[in-house]
Amino acid sequence: MLRTDIATTPEDSRTAARRAVIVLACVSACTTLVIGFVAAINLAVPLLAAGDLHPTSSELLWIVDGYVVVFACLVIPGGAAGDRFGRKGVLLTGLFTVAAGAALSALAPTVAILLAGRVLTGIGAALVLPNCVGILIHATPAERRGRALAVWAGVSGIGGLVGNVGGGALLTGGSWRTLFLAVVLVALACALWAATAVPRSSRHERGLDPVGTLLFVAAAVALLLGIIEGPELGWTSAFVATAFTLCAALTAVWLAVELRVRHPMLDPRLFRNPLLATASIGMVVAFFANFGLFYVNASLLQYGRGFSVLGAGLGILPMTLPLLLGTRYVRHLVARAGHAVTLAAAFLATTGGLFGLSTASEQPYAVYACWLVLVGIGITLALPCLTQEITAGLPPQQAGVAGGLQSATRELGSALGVAVVGTVLTAGFTRNLPAAVTGADSAPRTVAEALAQAPARHTDIVAAYVDGADAALRVAAVSAFCAGVLVVAGATWAARRTRQHTA
């Protein structure tokens, strides 16, 4: 009789542990690539604005957000594709797509081609990120899974900071195209590593819901169109009103479709679980604040403080200190204090840090750095806590969906952060420009345009930009605080319900 209960030897356990570490390192590198690319492009905004493509302020926001919004909208279908066709194959497809999109962007002769490359790269990123989570869950022994997920969450938080530093180094040469060429090489290297290190996982029959996916993408694009175009066209203009109305209508249709199809892209009924719902909102808010800050900070340090592009990339480093030193302790804090208390501390730190940054533009950089550390503490507390909640809210066979949901909320928050904060910044900058710069026609909407029009008013133009950036940071702080109250209340209610069910 064939035995199926053969004991695992210590050598087998050690081998499995070593393989799990290698897989963790590989998926962490892939994660850092696609998340770091979200942040790195922010440093290139001044170079793009002054470059040969001459993008408008709205086009600059779309160059940043085109990647992120496609990433956010397709990341759940990307996780479902991994469940159905095999996570390793979909991961490799995503990495090659990232390389192709970055190559197209690097060679782009027009803004339209650059945006097409950004969209293609976003599709690739949506295939990469959720399958990193699924691969990690299935390649890691159960007793090590919690720690591996915490490490991966910390790496994903640091990914944006790595993108800032690496992007700053690459952009020092003065060309934004260098950044995209480097992404091509890194994506191909990650694909080679994944091909040799990542194990194949089982497949699960799961529909891809193309109708629901298209509706979700269209609703998100309509929302961002309204936000980004509002300052230039007017918030009451027909275009902006139509965009917001279309977003609401498409969202309603999407909900109706998802409730009826057999295999929805994202079943709205999942959010009946209060823990999953509040964790998803929390992830959106955390990354709204995080990447809104990245968008402002990259240009604020260059324009307001005169930092080089590399200096601006390094200038965000104080945020990494809590992530590097404190991530390992968050699980223990959550176990002792609970999710609600941990999230309350996280959102208070994020709110305080953002508001402090909005008051530190003319203070020494050391003061500015202290506020960055406080924001970093908020991110350090929030990410592992929220990651565990989302993962715990779905069964293991839906690991790809859990990874997709986590990634979608992160990237949707990032896209909204860039759009809202960038819109407030542009509006504040335009409003604070001196009359001699605005002229009789439409006012310049970027620093590059203003300097080209009135180079002698450099000081006034930079001061107007700093005022707009400070206003944008305050909006981000207020948004984080208000949403944080909602998230903490939801987490408290979820914890109370759990205690009642187990009593």
DSSP result, 479-496 = HHHHHHHHHHHHHHHHHH
- What whole-number distance in Å separates Cα of residue 177 and Cα of residue 85? 34
Helix 238-258 to helix 210-233 angle, to the nearest 10 degrees? 160
From the number of C-beta atoms within 10 Å of its C-beta (0-12, 13-18, 19+), residue 181 rates as middle
Who contacts 442 (Cβ-Cβ below 8 Å, separation ≥6)?
A: none
CB neighbours (10 Å) of residue 65? 29
- What whole-number distance in Å separates Cα of residue 69 and Cα of residue 229? 16
Two structure tokens written together for 6: 């053969």
- What whole-number distance in Å separates Cα of residue 399 and Cα of residue 455? 55
- What whole-number distance in Å separates Cα of residue 180 and Cα of residue 451? 27
Identity at 441, one-letter amino acid code: D
* pLDDT in 10s for each residue of the chain, 503 residues: 444 444 445 545 667 677 888 888 899 999 999 988 888 898 888 889 888 888 888 888 889 888 988 888 888 888 878 878 888 999 999 999 999 999 999 999 999 999 999 999 999 999 998 888 778 877 777 777 777 877 887 777 677 778 888 888 999 887 899 999 999 999 999 999 999 988 876 666 666 788 888 898 899 889 988 888 887 777 888 999 999 999 999 999 999 998 888 878 778 887 877 778 878 888 888 888 888 888 888 888 888 888 888 898 888 889 888 877 877 788 788 778 887 888 899 999 999 999 999 999 889 999 999 999 999 999 888 887 887 777 766 666 666 566 667 778 888 888 888 888 888 888 888 888 887 777 655 677 778 788 878 888 888 888 988 999 999 999 999 988 988 888 888 778 777 776 666 65
pTM for this structure? 0.80
Torsion of Cα atoms, 22 then 26 then 29 then 35, to 10°? -130
Residue 106 · residue 158 · CB < 8 Å: no
- What whole-number distance in Å separates Cα of residue 329 and Cα of residue 324? 11
Two structure tokens written together for 161: 């900071």
DSSP result, 36-51 = HHHHHHHHTHHHHHHS
Greatest alpha-carbon pair distance for the chain in Å reads: 92
Identity at 82, one-letter amino acid code: G
- What whole-number distance in Å separates Cα of residue 68 and Cα of residue 418? 9
Domain ranges of the chain: 16-199+265-433+443-502, 209-264
* Spacing of C-alpha 440 from chain mean position: 39
- What whole-number distance in Å separates Cα of residue 215 and Cα of residue 93? 24
Give how far Cα 312 sits from Cα of 8, 79, 166, 249, 417, Å.
Answer: 51, 34, 11, 41, 19
Two structure tokens written together for 467: 């005022």
- What whole-number distance in Å separates Cα of residue 95 and Cα of residue 118? 14
Who contacts 59 (Cβ-Cβ below 8 Å, separation ≥6)?
A: 111, 115
CB neighbours (10 Å) of residue 207? 13
- What whole-number distance in Å separates Cα of residue 486 and Cα of residue 463? 35
Q: List the CATH code of the domain at 16-199+265-433+443-502.
A: 1.20.1250.20
Q: What is the DSSP letter of 456?
A: G
User: How much of the chain is in helix, strand and coil states, percent to nearest 5?
Assistant: 85, 0, 15
